[in-house]
Chain A
Amino acid sequence: GAVVSQHPSRVICKSGTSVKIECRSLDFQATTMFWYRQFPKKSLMLMATSNEGSKATYEQGVEKDKFLINHASLTLSTLTVTSAHPEDSSFYICSARMGQGEESPLHFGNGTRLTVT
């Protein structure tokens, strides 16, 4: 089955520092990956669509200079939270489609719990 690995699972950082989160598709190639953010008891909020070899497409209200996305290969996308602040503390989850069709289900990583102190 399709496996998406996300690392780290938990990270605590100080305010003002940057944190990088990696998302890898282990057994398939993903031309598109999606980054979500989830608050407690809230829905997954799509932050951006990461496209291999091109710039990410950000959702309205998401600061692209704050959340840097790089999709350098067909199996790796990274999200860097720059100059993190306590309000950036959240659960970040990446996902990817194994199939080509838009209705193909998403395969999710297990998320990264970010705590900014």
Chain B
Amino acid sequence: SQKIEQNSEALNIQEGKTATLTCNYTNYSPAYLQWYRQDPGRGPVFLLLIRENEKEKRKERLKVTFDTTLKQSLFHITASQPADSATYLCALDEGGYNKLIFGAGTRLAVHP
């Protein structure tokens, strides 16, 4: 069956450290993968997109990698801040059906 897996346990890190979140998928062949941030009671906000032919993408303190062999994407936040505390969702396309499928998200808590 098709699955998108993100670590369901919250990730607690200290301010200034690098946070690394994982997204694994099974039985999908996505052309791209996207990462979103969701705060409690709010809709998700788009952060980054990475295509299947890209190994890495950066935006300010954010970095995303995409390994189609491992079927995995890693999402890094460097020099983390308490304001980065949120739930981070990965999403991928379902092969030409014009729709995004989301993982359950990983909650990140950055402590001062």
The chain B residue with its CB closest to the CB of A94 is: B43
Judged by a CB distance under 8 angstroms, whether B79 is at the interface is no
B binding-site residues for A, Cβ under 8 Å:
4, 8, 31-32, 34, 36, 41-46, 49, 51, 89, 91, 93, 96, 98-105
Category for how many chain A residues contact B: 20 to 34
**Contact, CB under 8 Å: A103 / B102:** no
* Secondary structure class of chain A's binding surface, majority of residues: strand
Q: Which of A32, A41, A108, A111 contacts B45 (CB 8 A)?
A: A108
Residues of A within 8 A of B105 (CB): 43
A binding-site residues for B, Cβ under 8 Å:
4, 6, 32, 34, 36, 41-44, 46, 49, 93, 95, 102-103, 105-111, 113
- Minimal beta-carbon separation of A112 from chain B (angstroms): 10
**Contact, CB under 8 Å: B41 / A111:** yes
**Contact, CB under 8 Å: B99 / A49:** yes
Contact flag A43-B103 (CB < 8 Å), given A103-B51, A105-B34: yes
**Contact, CB under 8 Å: A41 / B43:** no
- Minimal beta-carbon separation of B4 from chain A (angstroms): 7
Residues of B within 8 A of A105 (CB): 34, 46, 49
